[in-house]
Amino acid sequence: MNFFEFIKTRLFLKHFLLSVFVTAGIVTLVLSGLKWYTHHGEAITVPSLVGLTPGQIAQMETISEFEIIIVDSVYDSKMTRGAVIIQDPVPGAKVKRNRKVYLTTVAVMPEKVSMPDLVDLTLRQATATLETYGLRLGRIKYIPDIAANAVLGQFYKNQSIDPGEEILKGSVIDLNVGQGMGGSRFQVPRLAGKTRDEAHMLIKNAYLTVGDETFENDADPETARVYQQYPAFGRGVLLNAGQPVNLIYRDPAVFDFENYLGTLESDTLAVDDEDHF
């Protein structure tokens, strides 16, 4: 009996059909097992963990459906220590159960950095260097010296600090800066309506210093804006380098700064017209 005669027999057909059914059964079982193992077609929503601490996350009812992994931490003095600031996948994403969620949290303690050498740099260069190292510029004291606007000394907590000394990131560094011997005077900047950070930057850029600060009606320093300044802004109002500018703040949520600034602008234009005539 040759091959072609054999495949026409009932015995061959019987075994062939049996093998087909067995193969189909095995494939079905494998696919079903993979679907069960990988939770195919099932999806859950990633909750928002930003702003929460690990302890708060552990108390969430659905957190057991994810694998939480903290991959990094960065220091931010304005946020709660240990709180989540970045998560991956993002909140609202659809994922399978037991998906890994990677978190970046706020460091409990700031990292340390080496104090840079700012002496002989210009004030602008020193400010940029401090920002690069994650440090903050504090008080600027101008001292009569031929090296105008050059850093003469660097201080941490009222003590001179040497380059290379380890300090916490975010620390405030005070500087002694040369005033120059020419008796330079600088224009008082207009600060009305500016935030605290903006006002400080404008004052420092004018080689002046921040004086007394008053927050009326318990205005929040983070959102308050300058209401008045002393000395007041005016064209030709000049101060010696390092002289203080005192600031009074109000809350923009309860004070109409838009109308107030418009009035100030009108008064300035009127003075300009009088000077012109």
Q: Residue 212 has what pLDDT?
A: 92
Nearest Cα to Cα of residue 173 among 154, 190, 192, 187:
154
Q: Residue 181 has what pLDDT?
A: 57
Q: Which domains does the chain have, with CATH numbers?
A: 44-106 (3.30.10.20), 110-172 (no CATH), 184-277 (3.30.10.20)
Q: Residue 263 has what pLDDT?
A: 86
Q: Residue 82 has what pLDDT?
A: 86
Q: Residue 267 has what pLDDT?
A: 62
Q: Residue 250 has what pLDDT?
A: 95
Q: Residue 271 has what pLDDT?
A: 47
With contact defined as beta carbons under 8 Å apart, do 220 and 254 qualify?
A: no
State pTM to two decimals. 0.48
Instruction: For CA atoms 72, 78, 81, 82, give the dihedral sign.
Output: negative
Q: Residue 79 has what pLDDT?
A: 77
Q: Provide block-wise average pLDDT over 10 residues at a time, the chain (277 residues).
A: 65 78 83 64 83 88 88 78 89 87 86 92 92 90 81 94 92 88 76 94 86 92 94 85 89 92 72 47
Q: Residue 40 has what pLDDT?
A: 55
